[in-house]
Amino acid sequence: MHFAPALQLFELQAAEDSSGVLGRLRGSLAFVFGPPLKRGSRGDAVVALQTALTRLSFRVGVNADFGADTDKALKAFQASAGLQPTGITDGFTRQAILSALAAIPASRPFVPPAPPTPALTQPRSLFRPCCLLRTKSLKGVATRGGHASDDPGIVYTGKAGFVDLGHLWDLADITAFAYQQIHAANGATGTKVQTAEGTATLTSTAPAKEWLRLAQSIAFDDALGHEIASYDLVWMVGMHNSAFSPEDLCSNYLGTLVAARALTAGGSFATEVENQLKVLLSDLNAQSEAETQKAFNRISRRWVDVSLSWDDSAYLVRRNFTRFPWKTGHSSDAPTPAFVVAPFRLSSTYDYRHKGGFSQTDFSTKISAIKVDAASRYGSTFDRP
């Protein structure tokens, strides 16, 4: 085997994914010359596989993690190519993928995913009150609420800590609504994208390949603006006593990811976000309600103060200002997949402004001020697990 297939795959990734040049090169070489990939594999070679499958119309999230959705897409490709659907990239499968890619005309234009079906009329499909990190909110993988629930709950996962499904579903909706607006405007400069709590204005023309990531980034900024605005509302339940809760920002990002995967898959948005969440929770090793309670018990006097009422402004004593998940030391804890913490990479730009009167350029200053206040209220460990 020579280097031409690896170069072909590298060029494909350069057009289709957002990873760096070195990552694309490593991934292309590893996919062509490295060991077979299968469920549980991670890294740049998996990105190369996912990019190739998507290009071949077996759409899958490009996230460096070979989970259930990648396994399903690979088996579907193998079956279509007359191969045994093993879900493993053996030599025959790799050659079939590379041959199929080579048969695609180089001039084939990129077609962005369709906007959500049916069209959305508002940023959120329903009002979901903040779940708060408390016993009443704890659910399990089998008892959690779905997209249409106003009480979806919080589930513990071994790979991403607590996941607040209220946040996740909200961000899935906001991302899809933002994408709908970007898609309708063809990503044009000056497009105003309405969100749940503000407006983003595109300051450059966004290429179609970036529309989904752009919608994700705008939705995430909208949610970050909400956390900032909430912190000062000490008198209101679910605001100060919930702002920057350890699970919030990671849950927000996962919501944008579920939306992006659902839109990529196509079909009914409400149906597909349910499907994609099932896959995500499986990949993150979501726990039962009993195990979620055990995980909570490990931090119930460290992250929160259960000696106080949950609606007390001093209830939440630890704050996470990143989307890197905090783990509790639960028996299911395992390394966090790269896709959970992967940065947004965009060439297109936008200005976001929150309804509270501040913009994304103010985020850093405002968060610094919040940290100073939190240290004075909760001590020097306020931002540590």
Tell whether the model's pLDDT for residue 48 goes beyond 90: no
Dihedral sign of CA atoms 42, 162, 356, 177 in order: positive
When pLDDT is averaged across residues 379-384 and rounded to a whole number, the result is: 96
Distances (CA, A) of 96 to 5, 42, 89, 99: 11, 21, 10, 5
Q: What pLDDT score was predicted for residue 107?
A: 58
Q: What pLDDT score was predicted for residue 31?
A: 83
Length of the chain: 385
Nearest-CA neighbor of 169 among 157, 155, 181? 155
When pLDDT is averaged across residues 180-195 and rounded to a whole number, the result is: 98
Q: What pLDDT score was predicted for residue 109?
A: 74
- 180 vs 166: CA distance, rounded Å: 21
Which pLDDT band, with edges at 50, 70 and 90, does 246 fall under? very high
Instruction: Specify the higher pLDDT residue, 363 or 311.
Output: 363
Tell whether the model's pLDDT for residue 99 goes beyond 60: yes
Which pLDDT band, with edges at 50, 70 and 90, does 1 fall under? very low
Decide if 157 contacts 281 (C-beta within 8 A): yes
When pLDDT is averaged across residues 294-310 and rounded to a whole number, the result is: 94
One-letter amino acid of 109: P
When pLDDT is averaged across residues 294-321 and rounded to a whole number, the result is: 94
Q: What pLDDT score was predicted for residue 17?
A: 46
Output the average pLDDT for the chain. 89
pLDDT digit string, tens, across residues 351-377? 999 999 999 999 999 999 999 999 999
Distances (CA, A) of 1 to 34, 37, 56, 91, 98: 12, 18, 22, 11, 12
pLDDT digit string, tens, across residues 198-225? 999 999 999 999 999 999 999 999 999 9
Which pLDDT band, with edges at 50, 70 and 90, does 8 fall under? low
State how far Cα 125 lies from the chain centre: 19
pLDDT digit string, tens, across residues 270-284? 999 999 999 899 989
Q: What pLDDT score was predicted for residue 339?
A: 87
When pLDDT is averaged across residues 307-328 and rounded to a whole number, the result is: 93
- 71 vs 89: CA distance, rounded Å: 10
pTM above 0.75, yes or no: yes
When pLDDT is averaged across residues 124-143 and rounded to a whole number, the result is: 88
Tell whether the model's pLDDT for residue 248 goes beyond 80: yes
